[in-house]
Amino acid sequence: MGTMLARFVAMALPLAGCCETTHHTALVDLEGRPITEPVGGDAGTSDAAAAGALDCQALCLQPIIGRCLSWEIESCERADPAGGAVTCRYVDTQCPDILPLPRTVCGRRTHGAGPATALGDDALGRALAHMAALEAASIPAFARLARELAAHHAPLSLIRAAERARRDEVRHAATMRGLAQARGGSVGRVTGRAVRGVRPLAELAIENAREGCVRETWGAAVARFQAAGAADPALRRAMGVSARDEARHAALAWRVHRWALSRLDEPARRECARALRDEAASLRRELDGCFDDATARALGVPTGAAARALASAIDGALWGRA
């Protein structure tokens, strides 16, 4: 990861000239669940030996879900050899002419599988590569959703819809990868541990609330903006297809939400409602920091007041009512 990060920063610097780098750390447990929020400050030196075989990409992803794509996982190490905590180190490289896209412009992710790395000399190519990476990360997320819905005896219509969504994401990832490559962007493999096993329904429902009801609903709305407003006709066409599919994925998330709530007890239902509210709040916090850039305009994503108005409209219609 350090090598990849060094390449990212090395490519960014000549483009921008005045990039500003800040470091942050957060504590997670051995399952990657955040213990603390990322806090700024000198990251100090990383002890590679202490890191051992830790999968930093998988362990350290959760605390930065919702952050701009300028955040990268730098390293991780055991906070206490006898304990259950891992210190994750992050670097945030803000460059005036490099788009800090939100992490979930379009894409559903699942705990334990991180998005692929995205590289490229061209800021737009790299932004497209980030989008392709998020699409690729949605593939294991829907595969897992379908498998876990089946294990929890969900209606067949939900399982089939999740399988169809996985196939959609395979196409989205390939299309976005092609658009990124045409602009010099490149995408690595989806990172992280294989996501096996079946989680309790409450855990599935909370992830679905965050990644589906909030993030895919937002992604579907943004995709509609891009289908109308992206500068490149090929991107407009791709986002037109994506907007239709993502709207279906968002609707699936809400169907899964309603079905799961009907099966869960009151404390678990409250947890789901809290997760949904927290994720919507997290998304709203991203808007000011991520949507005011020339590359965002090239992509056709809503910026500034338009983004806030869109989030408010969705909040009033969906998130705030759930």
The contact set with Fe ion (CB under 5 A) reads: 135, 169, 172, 246, 249
Q: Which is nearer to Fe ion, 86 or 205 (CB)?
A: 205
Shortest CB 250 distance to Fe ion, Å:
8
Shortest CB 273 distance to Fe ion, Å:
23
Shortest CB 242 distance to Fe ion, Å:
6
Shortest CB 168 distance to Fe ion, Å:
6
Q: Which is nearer to Fe ion, 24 or 144 (CB)?
A: 144
Shortest CB 20 distance to Fe ion, Å:
32
Shortest CB 248 distance to Fe ion, Å:
8
Q: Which residue in 122, 130, 132 sits closest to 177, CA to CA?
A: 132
Q: Which is nearer to Fe ion, 177 or 249 (CB)?
A: 249
Residue 265's Cβ-count burial label (10 Å; 0-12, 13-18, 19+) is exposed
Shortest CB 173 distance to Fe ion, Å:
8
Shortest CB 181 distance to Fe ion, Å:
18
Buried b (16+ CB within 10 A) or exposed e, 219-247: bbbbbbbbbebbebeebeebbeebbebbb
Q: Which is nearer to Fe ion, 62 or 226 (CB)?
A: 226
Q: Which is nearer to Fe ion, 109 or 249 (CB)?
A: 249
What number of CA atoms fall less than 13 Å from residue 268's CA on the CB side?
16
Shortest CB 18 distance to Fe ion, Å:
34
Q: Which is nearer to Fe ion, 8 or 218 (CB)?
A: 218
Q: Which is nearer to Fe ion, 126 or 172 (CB)?
A: 172
Q: Which is nearer to Fe ion, 13 or 251 (CB)?
A: 251
Q: Which is nearer to Fe ion, 169 or 286 (CB)?
A: 169
Q: Which two tokens stand for residue 165?
A: 């969504």
Residue 82's Cβ-count burial label (10 Å; 0-12, 13-18, 19+) is exposed
